[in-house]
Structure 1
Amino acid sequence: MPKRPVAMFAMTAENVPRVFPPDTLTRLRDLVDLDPDLVARDFTDPRVRARLARTEILITGWGCPVLDADALAAAPELRAVLHAAGSVKGFTTREVWDRGIAVSSAADANALPVAEYTLAMILLAGKNVFAFRDRLRAERAFPYGEILPGVGNFGRRVGVIGASRVGRRLIELLRPFDLEVSLADPYVDRAGAAALGVPLLPLDAVLAGSDIVTVHAPETPETRHLVGRRELALMPDGSVLVNTARGSLVDHEALVEELRSGRISAILDVTDPEPLPAASPLFGLPNAFVTPHIAGSQGNEVARLGATVLGELERLLSGRELEFGVDAGELDRAA
């Protein structure tokens, strides 16, 4: 039997059984020499260091320590990093790419639940569900059986800001519905948008021409307050802003002003800062629906991340190209 490559987990230890349930873990251990009880949270730990010296494949996740020059020097055999989460920007360094180490991410798998959450919120917002729920709670009565004007998802205009992984998955999920979807993204041309099946418009046109605007751009210095006071003012009265990307993409001070006016509404799964201070007005505004950054993989969804890593490991060991390899050249404009 050929010798199995040595692998090691580098992540928060309690997440290992969540991300890699028994069947997935068993398959991983069939393929590589992996000790599930030795999980690296500190690359200077003597036990970790001894294992690192022989490790060829690092299976990483939330809580992975930084792979700096010192850690890489202690891992001369390392040839691949398979990340069971989204962004790799928090723990990879230039030395990783200079060494030619293959890096893969489960960001595509993590994008799906975010897109699903966003789809659900768009459809609920189209029905004005949150306002009607509050009205029913307050009045304990409702005009049952009446047709409510100004609501519904037939022909509702949805503007997507950013053709990121989540943005693209969302566009796919929106296709079966009778919605008018448009896209704003400076890195997508008209042919690329046509391939996605949506018109490409300038950001201002998307903001001014949408009933629901949903933000899916990456967090970079250039996208900070991408939706600021001027941009919010372009949104039509009664429109809804959805943000499941990063809180810093929206100017929260300007957003609170707009929400206080009652002119627009917002659905926020991410905020700036995060978590919000207890005194934040967003908690009390009736037209703000805030959730605690739960759109990404939760509960049984994290097992999808482990399954993605397993698939990547099978490809790596069979000499095939990684399906979800990370391109270092795209990190600057990736989430």
Structure 2
Amino acid sequence: MTRQVVASGPDDALPALRAAAPGRVRVVPLPSSGGTAAVQALWEVQFLVLEHQRTDLLPVLGELPALRVVQTLIAGAEWLEPHLPDRVRLSRPAGARDNAVAEWVAAALLGLASGLLPAVREQGLRSWRRTESSELAGTRVVLVGAGSIGRCARAKLTGLGAAVTVVARTARAAVHPVTALHDLVTEADAVVLLVPATAETTGLAGAGLLARMPDGAVLVNAARGPVVDTAALTTEVLSGRLLAVLDVTDPEPLPPDHPLWTAPGCFLSPHIAGATRQGLARAIEAAAGGLARYVGGGS
């Protein structure tokens, strides 16, 4: 039987997928919208590539009889997993965006320490006002998350001279258990969140944890919005006690009138930490490899 795949994302993903198994795969574009038309368009599809922007297709996944694999182009899949039937295997592009996220974390800390982020905000006001700056070297960073992204971020921050303490769910060599987090943050200049969205990580950076961070410390969130208690963080930032650099929020995006948009101590980016050209290219390459293995009878 002819194996078929539906590819999402940029147009240049389609040639890569077609080249992965030429002659044995018919690659069709994703439908422009969800609903009944999407079910018809995807009826024979076995291998489906999805980006997180196509949430309109999630409700129809359970109605596709031939579907066996869903390949994402991002690592996080909490938005997708509840919609997958038991017969469908989830595949993610492991490592594809690690370097991109790690570079964003380094940029966030460098931008804040150097005064660049505050200066850009002043530029919008046409204000030539200097703020106190410092160097990242010697900064005490507690990095929460010891997966591939966390390891990459640790290497970059250590290379810049920061003293990095890593925390994860369970202790192992050079990694502290999450049960030690409340004690470790008391000496931190920065706390960086790089954990997946799970029931255990929801609200991890809550009022209690934030209250234990030293005055002037910064919370950097490149994980998922719900890992942070937004109300508690807002209180700390508006008081001027803590700073925040956030690539993700809860809700996402924040409502237009939310005070974090204009809080002097908060800097926001629109969930772009992993969205580099190179990261996308690696994710597409991983999807093409997954298709080739599927067509060849592998996992």
Structure 2 counterpart of 1:81, which letter? V
Displacement of 1:180 in angstroms is 0.6
Q: Where do residues 125-274 of structure 1 align in structure 2 (5 Å cutoff)? A: 125-133=112-120, 140=128, 151-186=134-169, 188-191=170-173, 194=174, 202-274=180-252
Matched, 1:60 2:42: no
Q: Give SS of 2:270's match.
A: coil
Alpha-carbon distance in structure 1 between the residues aligned to 2:70 and 2:23: 15
Match for residue 27 of structure 1?
19
CA RMSD of aligned residues (A): 3.2
2:145–2:166 Cα contact (<8 Å) kept = yes
Alpha-carbon distance in structure 2 between the residues aligned to 1:238 and 1:50: 54
Matched, 1:17 2:8: no
How many residues align? The count is 294
Q: Where do residues 309-324 of structure 1 align in structure 2 (5 Å cutoff)? A: 309-318=287-296
2:17–2:291 Cα contact (<8 Å) kept = no
Q: Give SS of 2:96's match.
A: helix
Alpha-carbon distance in structure 2 between the residues aligned to 1:131 and 1:95: 43
Q: Give SS of 1:30's match.
A: coil
1:28–1:310 Cα contact (<8 Å) kept = yes
1:186-209, Cα deviation, whole Å (9 max, x unpaired):
2x3223xx3xxx566711133112
Q: Provide structure 1 residue ranges, at least 5 long, that are not aligned to the other structure.
A: 322-335
1:84–1:106 Cα contact (<8 Å) kept = yes
1:21–1:303 Cα contact (<8 Å) kept = no
1:68–1:92 Cα contact (<8 Å) kept = no
Which one has a bigger Cα radius of gyration?
1
Displacement of 1:213 in angstroms is 0.7
* TM-score w.r.t. length of structure 1: 0.74
Query: Would the alpha carbon gap of residues 10 and 41 (structure 1) be closer, same or farther in structure 2, given more than 3 Å must change?
Result: farther
Q: Give SS of 2:26's match.
A: coil
Q: Give SS of 1:292's match.
A: coil
Structure 2 counterpart of 1:86, which letter? A
Displacement of 1:161 in angstroms is 1.4
Q: Provide structure 2 residue ranges, at least 5 long, that are not aligned to the other structure.
A: none
Displacement of 1:182 in angstroms is 0.5
1:138-192, Cα deviation, whole Å (9 max, x unpaired):
653659xxxx6x6112211111112244323312332322111012222x3223x
1:279-316, Cα deviation, whole Å (9 max, x unpaired):
11112211111122222325564233211111222334
Match for residue 286 of structure 1?
264
Q: Where do residues 39-54 of structure 1 align in structure 2 (5 Å cutoff)? A: 39=31, 42=34, 44-45=36-37, 49=40, 52-53=43-44
Percent identity over the alignment? 31
Q: Where do residues 297-316 of structure 1 align in structure 2 (5 Å cutoff)? A: 297-298=275-276, 301-316=279-294
2:234–2:260 Cα contact (<8 Å) kept = yes
* TM-score w.r.t. length of structure 2: 0.82
Structure 2 counterpart of 1:312, which letter? G
Which of 2, 5, 8 is the equivalent residue of 1:8?
5
Query: Would the alpha carbon gap of residues 139 and 49 (structure 1) be closer, same or farther in structure 2, given more than 3 Å must change?
Result: closer
Q: Give SS of 1:304's match.
A: helix
